[in-house]
Amino acid sequence: MKMLHFYDALTAGANSPEGQVLRFDSACLTEDSEAVNSTFIQARDDLFIEPAGIEYTDLYDHLLDQGISEYEWSRQAESLFLRPHTVHIGLGSSSEIDSYIRNALYRSLSLYPNTCLPRHNQFLDIATLVRAIHYLRPEVFGWDIGAAVKKDALLRDRLLRMHEFEDENRARQLVKIFAHLDSVAHDFISFAVRNAAPDRSKDLLGLENGALSDMASANPCVVTHQSIPNERHLGAFMPIAVDISYPDIVYLADLSCDLSELCDPDTPALDNLVRRRPDQFMAPIVRVNLSRLPFIAPLATVRPSDAQRLSLDIGKINDNIALLRAADQMAMRLLDEPIIGDTRMPADVDYRMLAGEYHVADMNLIKRLHASDFSRWPELLPEAHDNRILELGRRVLLRNRPDLLNDSDQRLWDRKLKGIYCGTNVTPDRVESILKAAEDSVKATLGMKGPVSHANRLRRLLGSP
């Protein structure tokens, strides 16, 4: 039986590799059951939160020391997100929340894939669906979302405010929003659900077994997602290559652009034709990660009235389709171009989720680790072939059972925790200024839960000046 899993999260931190999920709301629906749950996760000691100003964030009323550990939550989340025959539905999730969830799973040595989505499940982002309906079927939409349609964070905020009700579980708000969309655009939503997986997106784009061997099989499509760098985050595109390292990343040609340089075999290099910012609207090559859940549909989905409203020149688009199909060398040439597979990442292990999947032997080791008490981890971790597992496992122990590691490791970890807030200048004056900033927030908010718990956390981590 297929299950709909609606989810939302409260996150903190400068970015997803260093940040954390602090609250996870879920609503699991089948034809005859509904299970709603909210899970609170304790803030990791190595999670940086600004000493002052917490009252201006979603953490103003949140107790940072409540709930279960990130490791414990990761075990629950892995089971939920790997559950077969499930459609996972978030709101603005593909722009931010999903990366926090995936990095939490990675940090905790999950078997959830590092570089792609599980192949037996489907994933939808309501923000992307709303943008697609707003642009392609405006006559059925009915919601005044204005400029919020251009940014997932604004769209998320607008939709949640429009559908507030007494239950604090945000996943239930998502159920209500999705039900409305299904009621006004059922065929549209049914199509999105059927195709809510990277492999289905590849089929729509005309890729054969996930690859593009020649331009004759490529299909022109309408694609929308916040990551598409143009004003509306929507356009008419055609695939021209698949990343050699990350098969869910495809390179698309914008059919509204001048493609003469792209299709000219004498063009010396194609790197300058890649669009990296919205203001580079003349650059025709767009990089799209299918794991980030773009909405993709056949170009015929765009009606003449839609094309006119969206300033899509169908004549020019058809000319570019013919130009690309005639460019027989395109697919093979792009395999050798430096734009394909050029993904750089920092050396720190927390940032290396995309460095690849684990080999079978290491995956079996991870299973043994999770089946064992932490006390056995120090003897099991050295069996890892992938150095990421050794370091990630060591950090799991430092966060949960530091007593199992030697004094040197514990001292280095303590220095790292203090350095997160003090840098290399861990002096009494520096500690005092940080604690004072936190205490000032407590006084300014008359003892709100968030500032109070953060001040207590900092005193525990930094000690007295």
Is the distance from CB of 19 to CB of 103 less than 8 angstroms?
yes
pLDDT at 355 (0 to 100): 92
- 102, 16 in Cβ contact below 8 A? yes
Question: Does residue 341 carry a pLDDT above 70?
Answer: no
What distance in Å separates the CA atoms of residue 271 and residue 262, rounded to the nearest whole number? 10
**What does the pLDDT read at residue 276?**
86
Packing angle, helices 98-107 and 387-400, rounded to 10: 90
Q: Where are the domains of the chain?
A: 3-194, 198-335, 406-465
The amino acid that residue 13 corresponds to is G
C-alpha 20/C-alpha 42 separation (Å) is: 9
Average pLDDT, the chain: 91
Position 271 confidence tier, pLDDT thresholds 50, 70, 90: confident
Split at pLDDT 50, 70, 90, the class of 427 is confident
Q: Which residue has the higher pLDDT, 417 or 120?
A: 417
Q: What pairing do the DSSP bridges indicate for beta strands 122-125 and 221-224?
A: unpaired
- For 47-61, 175-189, 253-267, which range has the lowest pLDDT when averaged over its residues? 47-61
Architecture category of domain 198-335 in CATH: 2-Layer Sandwich (3.30)
Dihedral in degrees, nearest 10, Cα atoms 268, 273, 276, 278? 160
Q: Find the range with the poorest average confidence among 30-44, 149-163, 254-268.
A: 149-163
Q: What's the pLDDT at 377?
A: 98
pLDDT tens digit sequence for 66-79: 999 999 999 999 99
**Percent of the chain whose predicted confidence (pLDDT) is above 90:** 71
Region 366-384: mean pLDDT is 98
Class of domain 3-194: alpha beta
Confidence grade of residue 379 (pLDDT, cut at 50, 70, 90): very high
What pLDDT band is residue 265 in, cutting at 50, 70 and 90? confident
Q: What is the pLDDT of residues 239-251, one digit of tens each?
A: 999 988 888 999 9
pLDDT, residue 333, reads: 77
Query: What's the pLDDT at 370?
Result: 98
Residue 338's pLDDT is 62
Whether the pLDDT of residue 344 is over 90: the answer is no
Instruction: Assess whether pLDDT exceeds 80 at residue 287.
Output: yes
337 has pLDDT over 80: no
- How many Å apart are CA 458 and CA 65, to the nearest integer? 11
Alpha-carbon distance of 399 to 388, in angstroms, equals 16
Pairing of strands 86-90, 122-125: parallel
Question: Given this model, what pLDDT does residue 245 score?
Answer: 82
Mind listing the pLDDT tens digit for each residue in 197-256?
999 999 999 999 888 888 889 999 999 999 999 989 999 999 999 988 888 999 999 999
Choose the weakest-confidence range: 48-62, 83-97, 368-382, 449-463: 48-62
Task: Using the structure block, give the residue that is written with the tokens 């690859």.
Answer: 211
Give exposure, 349-369, as e/b (b: 16+ Cβ within 10 Å).
bbbbbeeeebeeebeebbeeb
pLDDT score, position 250: 94
pLDDT tops 70 at residue 258: yes
